[in-house]
């Protein structure tokens, strides 16, 4: 049995995790990383980690999860990282964190998906999105075949590419790691807000309170952009960016409740 641990804001990683599970067949538990809170986790069976790339590294919630996890005799492990275009140091970071957790991974994949970082660029057109989604479906089949066959697979990077990845990570990734949780200070809801509460329901880490029906961010943000993309009125913007002019995106096969279901429930 292979367990898949996942984290996702706009559904690309969840759709990939589900696809891999479907191709694997049988019993494949899909465990939302955010639902585990700060509990230590011991894994004995085969497992995979599926999550997005944030600023050329892994999301903080995933790094922290891997820091608490212990693999004891797992026969196989893989990571599958979804990225809009350039994964940078994320594959190396995933491998290092898994090693530290006790399992040198057998495979680390980067899967190109529609990019959702609308603080910097607009969502790509429908055709390009469809192409990326179709490519991710094919990747899921390959990844599942690799798990079944015990394949080894890593992202090859030339020495020059490795050096560039390290520079990008040192320049942008580190700063992101330090500021991530408080970056929600720049989020705000415009007058288009209808007080529907969807942003609060979708947040995977419970970082949004509703005050008089409007979102108030609490300062422990993962920067997954779920609130921004799932707001039905596109009312959530980021100060000093062009988000007001940009489109919203979520994977067509994933629902708001799927994303909200990651959240840890009170015990
Ligand atoms: C805060 C943030 C940072 C991102 N950084 C990168 C990046 O460094 N490289 C990249 O290729 N894509 C980057 N992206 C795009 C996402 O990795 C990509 O859209 C991913 O598939 C989203 O996964 P999800 O739908 O499961 O949330 C970033 C997205 C966000 C929200
Ligand atoms: S999802 Fe959008 S419209 Fe609904 S409460 Fe949040 S900001 Fe307002
Ligand atoms: S506040 Fe928004 S961006 Fe931050 S973790 Fe929650 S849904 Fe994601």
Total structural domains within the chain = 2
The answer to the question of residue 39 being in a domain is yes
* The pair of three-digit structure tokens given for residue 91, joined into one six-digit string: 């594959």
**Which atom in ligand 1 lies closest to the alpha carbon of residue 9?**
27
Residue 218: the pLDDT is 98
Which residues constitute the domain of residue 117?
2-159
Q: Which of 125, 159, 193 is the last residue in one of the domains? A: 159
Residue 266: the pLDDT is 63
* pTM higher than the cut 0.95: yes
For residues 145 and 191, membership in a common domain is answered with no
The strand pair at 214-217 and 208-211 is best described as: antiparallel
For residues 29 and 105, membership in a common domain is answered with yes
For residues 198 and 113, membership in a common domain is answered with no
Residue whose C-alpha is closest to residue 76's, from 50, 96, 92, 98? 98
Ligand with minimal distance to 193 CA: 2
**Which atom in ligand 1 lies closest to the alpha carbon of residue 173?**
8
The answer to the question of residue 71 being in a domain is yes
The answer to the question of residue 265 being in a domain is no
Distance in angstroms (rounded) separating the CA atoms of residues 114 and 249: 9
For residues 35 and 103, membership in a common domain is answered with yes
Read off the DSSP letter of residue 244.
Answer: G
The answer to the question of residue 164 being in a domain is no
For residues 191 and 223, membership in a common domain is answered with yes
Q: Do 196 and 158 meet the contact criterion of CB atoms below 8 Å apart?
A: no
For residues 99 and 209, membership in a common domain is answered with no
For residues 208 and 133, membership in a common domain is answered with no
For residues 6 and 74, membership in a common domain is answered with yes
The finding on whether 6 has its CB within 6 A of some atom of ligand 3 is: no
**Which atom in ligand 2 lies closest to the alpha carbon of residue 236?**
7
For residues 33 and 144, membership in a common domain is answered with yes
Distance in angstroms (rounded) separating the CA atoms of residues 188 and 223: 14
For residues 151 and 47, membership in a common domain is answered with yes
Using the mean position of ligand 3's atoms as its centre, give its distance from the Cα of residue 220 in Å.
8
- pLDDT tens for the chain, residues 1 to 267: 999 999 999 999 999 999 999 999 999 999 999 999 998 999 999 999 999 999 999 999 999 999 999 999 999 999 999 999 999 999 999 999 999 999 999 999 999 999 999 999 999 999 999 999 999 999 999 999 999 999 999 888 888 888 888 888 888 899 999 999 999 999 999 999 999 999 999 999 999 999 999 999 999 999 999 999 999 999 999 999 999 999 999 999 999 999 999 998 765
The finding on whether 225 has its CB within 6 A of some atom of ligand 1 is: yes
The answer to the question of residue 166 being in a domain is no
What is the domain-level CATH number for residue 121? Answer: 3.40.50.360
The answer to the question of residue 171 being in a domain is no
For residues 124 and 222, membership in a common domain is answered with no
The answer to the question of residue 267 being in a domain is no
For residues 152 and 200, membership in a common domain is answered with no
Q: Which of 127, 159, 191 is the last residue in one of the domains? A: 159
The answer to the question of residue 167 being in a domain is no
What is the domain-level CATH number for residue 188? Answer: 3.30.70.20
The finding on whether 188 has its CB within 6 A of some atom of ligand 1 is: no
Alpha helices, DSSP H, located in the chain: 12-24, 60-68, 90-100, 126-149, 159-168, 174-179, 198-202, 226-230, 256-260
The finding on whether 56 has its CB within 6 A of some atom of ligand 1 is: yes
**Protein residue whose Cα sits closest to atom 8 of ligand 3:** 224
**Protein residue whose Cα sits closest to atom 4 of ligand 2:** 196
Ligand with minimal distance to 219 CA: 3
**Which atom in ligand 1 lies closest to the alpha carbon of residue 111?**
21
Q: Please report, in angstroms and rounded to a whole number, the separation of the first and last CA atoms in the chain.
A: 27
Distance in angstroms (rounded) separating the CA atoms of residues 230 and 266: 24
The preferred substitution site among 11, 184, 260 for testing ligand 3, maximizing ligand atoms within 8 Å of CB, is 184
Q: Do 155 and 110 meet the contact criterion of CB atoms below 8 Å apart?
A: yes
């Amino acid at each position: 049995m292979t367990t898949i641990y996942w984290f996702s804001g706009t559904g690309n990683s969840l759709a990939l995790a589900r696809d891999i599970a479907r191709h694997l067949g049988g019993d494949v538990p899909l465990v939302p990383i955010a639902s585990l809170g700060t509990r230590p986790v011991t894994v004995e069976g085969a497992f995979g980690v599926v999550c997005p790339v944030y600023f050329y590294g892994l999301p903080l919630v995933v790094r922290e999860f891997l820091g608490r996890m212990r693999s004891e005799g797992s026969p196989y492990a893989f990571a599958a990282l979804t990225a809009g275009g350039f994964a940078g140091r994320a594959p190396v970071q995933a491998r290092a964190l898994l090693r530290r957790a006790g399992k040198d991974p057998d495979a680390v994949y980067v899967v190109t998906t529609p990019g959702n970082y609308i603080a910097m660029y607009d969502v790509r057109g429908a055709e390009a999105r469809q192409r990326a989604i179709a490519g991710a479906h094919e990747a899921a089949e390959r990844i599942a075949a690799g798990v079944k066959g015990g394949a080894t697979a890593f992202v090859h990077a030339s020495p020059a590419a490795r050096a560039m990845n390290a520079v990008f990570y040192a320049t942008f990734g580190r700063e992101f790691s330090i500021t991530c949780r408080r970056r929600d200070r720049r989020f705000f809801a415009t007058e288009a807000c209808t007080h529907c509460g969807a942003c609060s329901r979708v947040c995977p880490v419970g970082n949004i309170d509703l005050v008089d029906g409007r979102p108030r961010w609490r300062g422990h943000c993962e920067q997954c952009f779920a609130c921004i993309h799932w707001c039905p009125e596109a009312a959530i913007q980021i100060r000093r960016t062009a988000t007001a002019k940009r489109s919203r995106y979520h994977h067509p096969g994933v629902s708001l409740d799927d994303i909200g279901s990651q959240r840890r429930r009170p015990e």
